[in-house]
A and B are shown apart, each in its own frame.
Chain A
Amino acid sequence: MIDNKYINRNEKTASRIIDGQAVIMTLEDNTLHTLNEIGSMIWELSDGVRSIEDMAAIIHDEHKMVDYEKIRTDCQAFVKELLSKGMLILQDNRTEEKD
C-alpha cells in the first residue's frame, strides 16, 4: 500500500529547480521532465523521510484554502505518475535524517 511507504528520489535521476520548477533528467533514458508547481513541491519533499500524508500536510499548510483531502489524492496521483516514470521510488523504511 503506497500510503505506508516513504517516498524518495530515484538515484538514477539528476535534477535542478529552475525558476521554481523541478527539471528532472531520468538518466536511464536521457529524458528531461519538467514538473508543475505541485509536482515540484512533491519532488523537493521526496527525501525518503516523508510519506504521502506527510507531504500533503506540508503542502496543505502552504495552500490552506485547498481541501486537505483533495491535496492528499492529488499527491497520491502525482507520486504514482512519477513512480511510473522512474523518477521516484518507494521505501518501507525511513531514510535516516542527516544532521
Chain B
Amino acid sequence: MDILAHTMEKKIPFAVQINLTRRCNLRCIHCCVEKRDGERRIGKTPDHELNLEEINRILEQLAEAGCLVLTLSGGEVLLREDLIDIIRYARTLDFAVKVFTNGTLLGTKEIDAFQKLHLQEVHVSLYAANAKIHDGITGVPGSWEKTVKNIRQMREKGISVKIKCPVMRQNIKEYRKVYDLATDLGAGCAFDPVITMRDDGNKDTLNYRIAQEDLQMVLQDPVFYGGEKGERPENISCLITEIYDDVLCSAGHNICYISPEGEVNPCVQLPINSGNLRDHDFNWIWHNSPDMLNIRQMRMKNVHGCKNCDYLSWCARCPGLAYLEDGDLLGHSSAACWLAKAKGNKTLIGG
C-alpha cells in the first residue's frame, strides 16, 4: 500500500506538527511566530502553553488516530524544560520524532538524550557560514558559534541533522557556503526562499524576500535544491509529491498542526482554528470540526483567479500562504506567483 495515498484517502493524520511554545531566546528578523511579551527564558511552562500532562494525553490520541511522524517545534523547543520527557513519551508510543530548533540551547544532556531516544532527525536553523551574518539575523551575538558547535556534537553522536536555511536579502550570498559547511559537518541541508509573514498578521518580514532576479538565479542552481541529493524547498514539496484526488494539498487530509495553546489547524501554514484540544479530544476535532470538514471538501477546481495564468504549470500554490498573505485560500497567492514567475521565466529564457 502507498501509505501517503492511503492516509490521504482515509483521512488519517499521518504527520502532525506540535509547536510546544512561542517563547524563543533569539530574535530572528524574519521569524513568523508572534512572541508573547518578554517570554524568552527557560523556565516554568506558562499557563497558556499545554502542560506535560496535556501533551501526553494528546500524544496518546494522535497515536490512536494513526499519526506516525511527529514534529516538535516552537518558538524554541529547548525552552521547554520538559522537552526530553515529551520526546521520551512520544518514543514510548513509537512515533518517529523530528525536532526543529535553533541549536543554541543544546547541552550534553539533551544531545545524549536525542541519541538514546533515536530521533528521526533534528532540523537546525542556520543562516550563514559566517558568524557575523548569522548573528545579524538572529540578533544575538555568539549564536552562530553555539549552533555550529552543537550541530558538530550531534553529528559526532550519529544524530541525523538537517540544516534549514531560509534564503533572504541578508544571506543570499551565503547559501552556497552553508551548503559546504553542512557537507563538512555531515548534515543535510534545505534552502527556502519563501519568507512568510508573521502569524499575527504583520507583513514586515516579507521585505526580506530576495529580489525576483535573484530568485530566478538561485532557482537555476542545483546547490539550492540540496545539491546532488536534489531536495526541493520544503514548504512547497507537500504540494508536488502528495497531490491526491484534486484536493488543494495535504492540509487536513493526512497532516495537521497543533499550537502551543492546543488549537488544531489543518497545517502549520494554514492558521484556521478548527477546535481546541482543551475542549475536545483530537478525534472529535479531526472528524467533526466544521472547519476541518470544509477544507477537506475543497478541490483545485474551486480555485479562482488562476485559470488563465501563464505560469500555471510552474505554480506550487500553497493555500495557507494564499490565505495568510492574500486573505483567500482559494484565491491566487502572491508568494506562489513570485516563485512561479521566477521558475517560468528561467525556463523560458534558459530553454
Contact = CB atoms under 8 A, between A and B. Distances in A.
Interface of A: 11-12, 14-16, 18-19, 21, 23, 25, 27-28, 30, 32, 34
Nearest to B68: A16
B94 interface: yes
Given A19-B6, A19-B10, A32-B3, A14 B121 contact: no
Nearest to B2: A34
The listed residue with most B CB atoms (<10 A of its CB), out of A14, A30, A32, is A14
Interface residues on B, range: 20 to 34
Nearest to B67: A16
A14 B94 contact: yes
A23 B3 CA distance: 8
Contacts, number: 45
Nearest to A29: B160
A44 B6 CA distance: 21
The listed residue with most A CB atoms (<10 A of its CB), out of B1, B14, B91, B96, is B96
The listed residue with most B CB atoms (<10 A of its CB), out of A11, A16, A18, is A16
A21 B1 contact: yes
B120 A14 contact: yes
Contacts of A27: 96, 118-120, 160
Contacts of A11: 118
Interface in B118-145: 118-121
A25 B118 CA distance: 12
Contacts of B337: none
Contacts of A25: 68-69, 96, 120
Interface secondary structure of A, over-half rule: strand
B95 interface: yes
Interface of B: 1, 3, 6-7, 10, 12, 14, 63, 66-69, 91, 94-97, 118-121, 160
A32 B96 CA distance: 11
B118 A12 contact: yes
The listed residue with most A CB atoms (<10 A of its CB), out of B3, B66, B119, is B3
A12 to B, nearest CB: 5
Contact of B6 (A12, A14, A18, A28): A18
Given A14-B95, A15-B94, A16-B63, A23 B68 contact: yes
Nearest to B63: A16
A15 B68 contact: yes
Given A14-B96, A15-B68, A16-B66, A30 B121 contact: yes
A56 B301 CA distance: 51
B3 A34 contact: yes
Contacts of A23: 3, 68
Contacts of A28: 160
A59 B118 CA distance: 31
Contacts of B10: 19
A77 B6 CA distance: 27
B286 to A, nearest CB: 15
Shortest 6 CB-CB distances between A and B: which pairs? A14-B96, A16-B68, A25-B96, A12-B118, A18-B66, A34-B1
A45 to B, nearest CB: 15
A18 B69 CA distance: 13
B170 to A, nearest CB: 31
A82 to B, nearest CB: 16
